[in-house]
Structure 1
Amino acid sequence: MLYNNGTEMPHWLAKRASLTPERIALICEGEEWTFRRLEEEAGRMARRLAGWGLKKGDRVVLLMGNGLHMVTLIHAVTRLGAVVVPLNTRLAPEEIAWQVEDVGARMWVVDEDHEPKAAATWRSFGTTAYTWEELTRFPEKEMELPSRLSLKDLHTIMYTSGTTGRPKGVMLTWGNHWWSAIASVLNLGLDPRDRWLASVPLFHMSGLSILMRSLIYGMTAVIHPAFDPAAANRSIRGEGVSIVSVVGTMLSRMLEDLGEKFYPDHFRCMLLGGGPAPKSLLERCKEKGVPVFQTYGMTETASQIVTLAPEDSLRKLGSAGKPLFPSELRIVKEGVDLPPGEAGEIVVRGPNVTGGYWKRPDATMEAIREGWLYTGDLGYLDEEGFLYVLDRRTDLIISGGENVYPAEVEAVLTAHPAVEEAGVTGRSHEVWGQVPIGFVRLKAGESITEEELLHYCGERLARYKVPIRIYFVSHLPKNASNKLLRRELLQLIPKEGKGGRDW
């Protein structure tokens, strides 16, 4: 008789607590929890939630910042087989209300910082919201918590930001998270002393994946309430952090704070995601001996699906790497696979890829065909099979029939010594269809004119790639993970701002 079809295993938290009970699981704001302590805290909360009536399959929304309470709730909710739905804390009340209603939440939990925002929305429908303090007063149900899980069961629903229309709820199973973690460790390796810094939001795939890997690897997760470059560098230099997940702007700020210092020998991985990185940034890291591993991934792939291997980090500077074991990748255009060097849509498949979107069969059928996820991102493979990501298809600028990749123009702008960061997007044009527009934030104490920057770009880019205007701004729009929101750049143009070069 077949008792296990290969999809069942002991519950991760319970198993980890039995294997390495005294190993440090979490470091957060001066507190250290062992895996035994984490299992005890999550178990107590799970019994409180069970006493309230939470059961397998129920969706629980979390509107909370990084901290021990959020970590505990993620493990408590999923310990019961319920589904955790972490919401972006930067959302407006109307956006929160829509996602809570769309997912059919049984309950949602808010922390003190976000209670006012939640209060503005929860009266619009029947779902009850609770604070952490209210949950701690729930009576515990006397019960044995589930000791096993199925990799087929739903673990997370995480809403994508979306470029148009309403966001979509990405459904991720325990199996998706499992294979994401296994694929990563097969590439990066595992040191028993590893500590992974989570200064990215836990409601984001990058942050949540660190918690999953902590359980599976038996690794310490160092949780920061928010990203602060000085705090991140202190954790590397003084708390033994060996791996950090960042996007380009975070890395740039960390290097600036690092100054003339260097990272200690135990620091082995700066995992860089969030889109193509400027070559100038990668070269700065090379000069400083910072071990940067570019990655490519998304919510739909439960974090990274392509990552540079350690031995290729310098040889293939600028590449996101090769598909992780056991994932696959193709570059296609109009359904045809393209040869090396030709740009097309990035298409991936593997056991870490979502099975679809919550209550969106139309979107699921459009994105997933014969097991392949059509990402909407543009890239190409070199002769050795290394992926180079160009841009989001929705961010692509087509000017006079020529493709302009914003990331390429941004890389040139940020290479200028006066520029701290840059964003590029397209604007409609009567003659060319679209033209690129640049937005830059200068480094403190630096100054440069628009014409000087345009001349700088003109020496390094084809004419059709040079921005028709460059605006100097105090900030660039970003999401909670510090990724640039190109679709919001045009809102930064001053209403009286006209003129510029005439194409």
Structure 2
Amino acid sequence: MSGSLIHDFDQCARQTPDAPALSWHGDVWTYGQLRRAVGCAQGILVRNGIAPGSRVALFVRNSPQYVASYFGVMAAGCVAVPLNVQERASVLSRQIEHADCRVVIADAGHPEWAALSVALSAVAPLTVTVDLQPGSAGCDQFCAALGAAEPELRDLPANAPAMMIYTSGTTSRPKGVVLSNGNLLANARAIAAYLKIQPSDKVLCGLPFHFSYGSSVLNSNVIAGAQLLLEDNFAFPQQTLRRMQDERVTGFPGVPSTFALLLGRCQLSDFDLSQLRYITQAGGSMPRAQIEKLREQLPHTQVFIMYGQTEATARLSYLDPTELERKLGSVGKPLPGIDIEIRAEGRVLPAGEVGEICARGPNVMLGYWRQPELSAQVLQDGWLHTGDLGHFDEEGFLYIDGRAVDMIKVGAFRVSPQEVEEVLATFPGVQEVAVTGIADPVLGQAIKAVIVLREGVAADLMGVKAHCRQNLANYKVPKVVEFAASLPRTSSGKVQRFKLA
């Protein structure tokens, strides 16, 4: 059986070779150029005898050169292992060794590369360095450095491993999630279908490609022939919004912190975003008040609320924008071909009851790299046990009730951090909030809230406590409230709750 991203990408690039594929710092690569560069990345691996199935680490930030390397690795039948370029060399070298990478493709200008290259001497993989200096000759420079090669982009076995993503580690040590060609293709096609991605779309992406959400944005747009505008970060939200305005962006993916930053520092209605057809949100729950504010400031833009996991390639469900007002708080219904059940103690629960979300479908991972026991625990009879808690309503819409490991045990009660965060997010001046459990000598655990305020807003501890008492049961009111300049997050934008305590 075959089926791969390479097949769909190759078809798209052959049909529209002159169409723009990637834009980064003014350097635009067409689909034809990208296909040529993919062939060069594939060629250097083949010439060096790197066997199909070998792991190849990608130490390259979001750029056209990353995309060419990523697809080139898969085209050679190898397994792409994207690394977090914000990590230190000591962590990266351990991941490269753990993954048993035969090759590292790296940005030689990265400040950690000197230390990392020394650390890799013991592992001794082949290293291929690329130049990320933006410029009109970017594609030519890339191909000249790797060596010219005629692309041989054949279809690949669907069940063969194609990518390994290290989870972001919000609560524990990262794990290597192994995804197949079929996993990646099925999820990319499903996402492209429900977003109705067209070659005319221009999508601005600042999500890192080394984690599943960013990777899914890349995959779904490239196989659909759309143009991706790569944004390095959202540190200057007004510049981001101005670029969206000037370049007539039609799609914009983000995590909750992305939208909290944009809404906290800017008035979106001050910019002409009339071409913005849709927004997607995943990577954690977004407070209802924030969703409502987005809809208020972007009344003509569709808002897709989505849910998924790295272990499910990226996406398990989405809420159709037409149902957003009626089903606010839901993450929608499963994607076509995906089954979801709510289970507890081995039985499937009816609508309204909370249990663990379990899923099966063509997007469910092959397993965790070199962790057979954990893989067997999470994958049972073809079902992925997500560790997330949720419930269905009577119409089959899914709601997330938190992570099982995040639930706070206050005496005899179990409290969802998400419920408390929803209430705190409605307090005036709150930009972001995160809730966790802390040790309590009497109750076992107590609730702690960490709040980030909008610029110029003064902290009001008494007001926050009063607001909670008005809207929450007594045992759900935070015992400790702290105000902070930011929340501890992974590079993918997820809150690291274990650091809040």
Question: Superposition pairs for residues 299-310 of structure 1, below 5 Å?
Answer: 299-310=310-321
Alignment partner of 1:202 out of 209, 215, 232: 209
Structure 2 match to 1:244 = 252
Contact kept in structure 2, 1:83 and 1:156, CA below 8 Å: yes
| 1:414-447 C-alpha deviation (Å, 9 max, x unpaired) | 2212222111110111221111111112211111
Matches within 5 A, 1:166-315: 166-228=173-235, 229-255=237-263, 256-261=265-270, 264-288=273-297, 289=299, 290-315=301-326
Aligned partners of 1:404, 1:315: CA distance in 2, in Å? Answer: 25
Q: Give, in whole Å, the separation in 2 of the partners of 1:159 and 1:319.
A: 28
2: CA distance between counterparts of 1:266 and 1:137?
38
Pairing partner for 2:106 from 107, 110, 114: 110
Distance 1:214 1:117, change over 3 A: farther
Question: How many angstroms apart in 2 are the aligned matches of 1:388 and 1:7?
Answer: 32
- The question of whether the paired residues in 2 share the 8 Å contact of 1:85 and 1:158 is answered with yes
Q: TM-score, normalised by structure 1?
A: 0.91
8 A contact 1:276–1:390 mirrored in 2 = no
How big is each residue's C-alpha offset from its partner over 1:285-334, in whole Å with a ceiling of 9 and x where there is no partner?
22222432111011111112110113212221121110011111111111
Aligned residue for 1:409?
Answer: 420
Structure 2 distance, partners of 1:194, 1:135, is: 26
Label 1:191 to 1:107 Cα distance change in 2 as closer, same or farther (>3 A): closer
Whether the aligned pair in 1 keeps the contact of 2:40 and 2:146 (CA below 8 Å) is no
Partner of 1:350: 361
Alpha-carbon distance in structure 2 between the residues aligned to 1:136 and 1:150: 27
- Cα 1:189/1:233, change in 2 over 3 Å: same
Kindly indicate whether residue 432 of structure 2 is the aligned counterpart of residue 434 of structure 1: no
Q: Is the 8 A contact 2:198 2:224 kept in 1?
A: no
Instruction: Note the C-alpha offset of 1:240.
Output: 2.5
Amino acid of the residue matched to residue 12 of structure 2? R
Shift of 1:7: 4.5
Q: CA deviation at 1:60?
A: 0.7
Residue 137 of structure 1: CA displacement?
Answer: 6.7
Alignment CA distance shift 1:146-1:249 (3 Å): closer
* Residues 1:392 and 1:200: Cα distance change in structure 2 (over 3 Å): same
Give 1:41's match in structure 2, choosing from 28, 37, 40. Answer: 37
Q: Secondary structure at the match of 1:106?
A: strand
State which drifts further: 424-433 or 40-49: 40-49
Deviations 1:327-352 (A, max 9, x none): 11111111121222221111111101
Greater Cα shift, 255-264 or 443-452:
255-264
Tell me the equivalent position of 2:57. Answer: 61
Question: CA shift at 1:252, angstroms?
Answer: 2.1
Q: Secondary structure at the match of 2:223?
A: helix
For residues 124 and 115 of structure 2, the distance between their equivalents in structure 1, rounded to whole angstroms, comes to: 17
8 A Cα contact 1:200 1:227, kept in partner: no
Aligned to 1:448: 459
Unaligned regions of 5+ residues in structure 1, if any?
A: 491-503
Q: Given that residues 166 and 211 in structure 2 are in contact (C-alpha distance below 8 angstroms), is that contact kept between their aligned partners in structure 1?
A: no
Amino acid at match of 2:174: P
Partner of 2:138: none
Separation in structure 1 between the aligned mates of residue 308 and residue 90 of structure 2, nearest angstrom: 28
Per-residue CA distance 1:100-124 (angstroms, 9 max, x = gap): 1111100112212241452463234
Identical counterparts, % of pairs: 33
Q: How far did residue 262 of structure 1 move?
A: 5.5
Q: Kindly tell me: are residues 199 and 165 of structure 1, through their superposed partners in 2, closer, same or farther at Cα, counting changes over 3 Å?
A: closer
- Tell me if the contact between 1:52 and 1:138 (Cα under 8 Å) persists in the aligned partners: no
1:439 touches 1:470 (CA, 8 Å); kept in 2? yes
Query: Letter of the aligned partner of 2:232 in structure 1?
Result: P
Give the whole-Å Cα distance in 2 for the aligned partners of 1:139 and 1:477: 39
**1:112-127 equivalent positions in 2, closer than 5 A:** 112-113=109-110, 114-119=112-117, 121-127=119-125
Aligned-residue offset at 1:191: 3.5
* Structure 1 residue 187: Cα displacement: 2.2
Q: Is the 8 A contact 2:170 2:495 kept in 1?
A: no
Q: Secondary structure at the match of 2:306?
A: strand
Count of residue pairs the alignment pairs up: 486
**Contact 2:341–2:357 (CA under 8 A) maintained in structure 1:** yes
Partner of 1:496: none
Q: 1:394 to 1:10 in 2, by over 3 A?
A: closer
Q: Structure 1 360/447 Cα, relative in aligned 2: closer, same or farther at 3 Å?
A: same
Among 8, 29, 40, the residue aligned to 2:25 = 29
Whole-angstrom CA distance in 2 between matches of 1:201 and 1:287: 28
Supply the AA of the counterpart residue of 1:261: D
Deviation at 1:135, TM superposition (A): 8.1
Name 2:349's counterpart in structure 1: 338
Change (3 A) 1:325 1:377: same
The letter for the 2-side match of 1:236 is M
Deviates more, 1:28-37 or 1:227-236: 227-236
- Matches of 2:268 and 2:146 in 1, distance apart? 52
| 1:127 Cα offset (Å) | 2.7
Q: Secondary structure at the match of 1:352?
A: coil
C-alpha contact (below 8 Å) 2:436/2:497 kept by paired residues: yes
CA contact (8 A) 1:26 1:222 kept: yes
Residues 166, 129 of structure 1: CA spacing in aligned structure 2 closer, same or farther, 3 A cutoff? Answer: farther
Distance, in Å, in 2 between the alignment partners of 1:47 and 1:10 is: 15
Kept in 2, the 8 Å contact 1:26–1:34? The answer is yes
Which stretch of structure 1 is more off in the superposition, 314-323 or 136-145?
A: 136-145
1:141-194: CA deviation from partner (whole Å, max 9, x where unpaired):
767624222222211001113355532111111111111122223322233421
Paired residue for 1:91? 87
Q: Secondary structure at the match of 1:270?
A: strand
Aligned-partner Cα distance in 2 for 1:298–1:14: 27
Structure 2: gaps of 5 or more residues = 132-140
Matches of 1:172 and 1:371, distance apart in 2: 15
Q: Specify whether residues 7 and 449 from structure 1 end up closer, same or farther in structure 2 by C-alpha distance, changes over 3 A only.
A: closer
